[in-house]
């Protein structure tokens, strides 16, 4: 049986020609910031499958977890609003006096926000809180569908397996196969899904190219073996027995800076470059660091001989308007 997907996002998202990079390759920007659900972003694609799973399980509410300014939490709140499911968000940090950015939107979508006081990089404690809350809801007779941080389960990663195919089709329609796809990675589901897409396309002999993940959090995303396994488990859900190779999983950790959500000069410069070049708005926590990785690799000659480089813009707009991202 193929996994259930509920229509939540507007696809295919645009693929914009971004002109030449300083190193000479052509930049393409895949506008997954425009997926549409609750002002857009990558998590909408994962939520199509995660909410399909919730529906199949007969869930009457959603629970998930993230950093205070989590885009994933905001988009889960948006999905909950659309599907009429009460949504609980377990968030790092204390309750702010004034809600901003993603929290403000989550409130507008009607989500119940649990401000835990836990630090944003303490994923273990945040996950424990989510599990406890899920159990409490069950004890009260509810049927929660509980989604781990970032929605990065094999079911969630199906969204980016699908996106890989969508992107390759768009490139082929324009007349090229990209040399590389670069994107921002945190909990790893986006990366694993893209890698699963790569592995399947390679096995089928259809156009494909490598994926480079720019890591922006010191979490599971930095362990290549967990991404390899997640990719294999995603393929398994589709009834495919192809195996992901270690060399398929490329994570570049050099652009993270001090820690998750701690600004870097490279990211500030990259956001400026992108805003001026294509009016693309990059956020300081995720996409600006991811794009600083792309520009950094380009500057050191990493794309030499390449003709087409795709950056997947994974969203993050609301945190541009938030003063505290932790």
Ligand X SMILES: Cc1ncc(COP(=O)(O)O)c(C=O)c1O
| Contact residues: ligand X, CB under 6 A | 41-42, 71-72, 150, 152, 184-191, 221, 286-287, 314-316
Please tell me the distance from the alpha carbon of residue 126 to that of residue 144, in angstroms, as a whole number. 17
Sort residue 205 into left (φ over 0), alpha (ψ -120 to 50) or beta: left
Q: Considering beta carbons, is residue 90 or 137 the nearer one to ligand X?
A: 90
Please tell me the distance from the alpha carbon of residue 50 to that of residue 296, in angstroms, as a whole number. 34
Q: Considering beta carbons, is residue 107 or 226 the nearer one to ligand X?
A: 226
Q: Considering beta carbons, is residue 116 or 184 the nearer one to ligand X?
A: 184
Please tell me the distance from the alpha carbon of residue 307 to that of residue 26, in angstroms, as a whole number. 6
Q: Considering beta carbons, is residue 113 or 185 the nearer one to ligand X?
A: 185
Helices (H) and strands (E) in the chain, counts: 9, 10
| Closest approach of ligand X to the CB of residue 140, in Å | 29
| Closest approach of ligand X to the CB of residue 47, in Å | 12
Cα three-residue angle 197-201-206, rounded to 5 degrees = 145
Please tell me the distance from the alpha carbon of residue 216 to that of residue 194, in angstroms, as a whole number. 17
Going from the C-alpha of 91 to that of each of 112, 118, 154, 262, 266, the distances in angstroms are 10, 8, 23, 18, 27
Q: Considering beta carbons, is residue 114 or 142 the nearer one to ligand X?
A: 114
| Closest approach of ligand X to the CB of residue 5, in Å | 17
Q: Considering beta carbons, is residue 81 or 261 the nearer one to ligand X?
A: 261
202, two tokens: 């390679």
| Closest approach of ligand X to the CB of residue 43, in Å | 6
| Closest approach of ligand X to the CB of residue 246, in Å | 19
| Closest approach of ligand X to the CB of residue 185, in Å | 4
162, two tokens: 């699908």
18, two tokens: 């971004």
């Amino acid at each position: 049986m193929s996994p259930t997907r509920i229509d939540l996002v507007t696809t295919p998202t645009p693929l914009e020609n971004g002109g030449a990079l300083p190193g000479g390759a052509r930049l393409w920007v895949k506008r997954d910031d425009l997926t549409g659900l609750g002002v857009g972003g990558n998590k909408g694609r994962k939520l199509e499958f995660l909410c399909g799973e919730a529906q199949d399980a007969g869930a009457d509410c959603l629970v998930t977890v993230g950093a205070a300014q989590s885009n994933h939490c905001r988009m889960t709140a948006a999905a909950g609003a659309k599907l009429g499911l009460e949504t609980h968000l377990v968030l790092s940090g204390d309750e702010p006096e004034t809600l901003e950015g993603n929290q403000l939107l989550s409130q507008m979508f009607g989500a119940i926000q649990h401000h835990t006081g836990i630090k944003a990089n303490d994923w273990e404690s945040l996950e424990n809180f989510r599990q406890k809350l899920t159990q409490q809801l069950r004890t009260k007779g509810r049927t929660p569908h509980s989604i781990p941080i970032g929605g990065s389960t094999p079911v969630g990663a199906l969204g980016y397996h699908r996106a890989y195919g969508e992107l390759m089709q768009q490139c082929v329609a324009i007349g090229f196969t990209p040399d590389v796809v670069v994107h921002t990675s945190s909990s790893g589901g986006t990366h694993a899904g893209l890698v699963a897409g790569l592995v399947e396309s390679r096995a089928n002999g259809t156009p494909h190219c490598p994926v480079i993940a720019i890591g922006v959090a010191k979490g599971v995303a930095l362990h290549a073996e967990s991404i390899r396994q997640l990719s294999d488990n995603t393929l398994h859900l589709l009834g495919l027995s192809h195996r992901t190779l270690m060399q398929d999983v490329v994570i570049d950790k050099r652009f993270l800076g001090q820690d998750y959500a701690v600004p870097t000069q490279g990211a500030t410069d990259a956001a400026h470059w992108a805003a001026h070049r294509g009016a693309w708005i990059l956020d300081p926590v995720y996409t600006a660091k991811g794009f600083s990785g792309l520009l950094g690799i380009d500057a050191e000659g990493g794309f030499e001989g390449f003709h087409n480089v795709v950056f997947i813009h994974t969203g993050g707009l609301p945190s541009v308007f938030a003063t505290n991202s932790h």
